[in-house]
Chains A and B, each alone.
Chain A
Amino acid sequence: GAVVSQHPSWVICKSGTSVKIECRSLDFQATTMFWYRQFPKQSLMLMATSNEGSKATYEQGVEKDKFLINHASLTLSTLTVTSAHPEDSSFYICSASEAGKGAIGNQPQHFGDGTRLSIL
């Protein structure tokens, strides 16, 4: 149980295009989803916290107009990298916490397998 699916797993596109990444919780409802970015040989850096039905909370230094997050249902969150440039190339990972499982801090995050984005 508690599977998070991320799509696509790999995408290559030209500079200036927009790329949408989907994150789905397959067998549970997720009130909260998280989006991370990971550069080679570095740890995961939280980009934003996405709450179903409300605006995402972005971490300092993350441009909300650049990285659009939509969490319209309890099983789907999307991250759109707008007007992508080579410096946006990275490994993007989402995670989700299951709703209604006790104290919020006591809910494990379940991670997708990530999306490798390469901008040419």
Chain B
Amino acid sequence: DAKTTQPTSMDCAEGRAANLPCNHSTISGNEYVYWYRQIHSQGPQYIIHGLKNNETNEMASLIITEDRKSSTLILPHATLRDTAVYYCIVRGYSGGYQKVTFGTGTKLQVIP
């Protein structure tokens, strides 16, 4: 399974853009990059996903490098409610079963 590596923690000032990096250097061709976030004692919330093109939705933007070995989640205007643990996961389908690998997670603290 492809593994992901993320910084343990990050701070971001309220109103500024939060850029959360993720390394997935062993990603294979059919694996998607997903981002989720988890607020304490809740289930993870889906944010965005992509294969090779950059993606944007109402929550965030996802920038994937051309070699697909890393990606960055961008929260354009961070608010206090964005304080959470952000997980980057790689997911695909191989050999008759689905692969799901969670990263270490980045604890994002949005500061007033």
CA separation between A4 and B36, bound complex, in Å? 15
Query: By the criterion of a CB under 8 Å from any partner CB, how many residues of chain A are at the interface?
Result: 26
Q: Which of B14-22, B41-49, B61-69, B70-78 contacts A (4 or more CB under 8 A)?
A: B41-49
Which residue in chain A gives the minimum CB-CB distance to B33?
A105
Which residue in chain A gives the minimum CB-CB distance to B42?
A113
B93 in contact with A93 (CB, 8 Å):
no
Which residue in chain B gives the minimum CB-CB distance to A36?
B102
Report A2-29 CB contacts with B as 1/0, cut-off 8 Å.
Answer: 0010100000000000000000000000
B103 in contact with A93 (CB, 8 Å):
no
A43 in contact with B51 (CB, 8 Å):
no
CA separation between A82 and B31, bound complex, in Å? 34
- A residues in contact (CB < 8 Å) with B: 4, 6, 32, 34, 43-46, 49, 57, 91, 93, 95, 97, 103-106, 108-114, 116
A-B CB contact pairs (8 Å), 12 listed: A43-B105, A46-B102, A49-B97, A93-B44, A95-B44, A104-B98, A105-B31, A105-B32, A108-B34, A109-B36, A109-B91, A111-B46
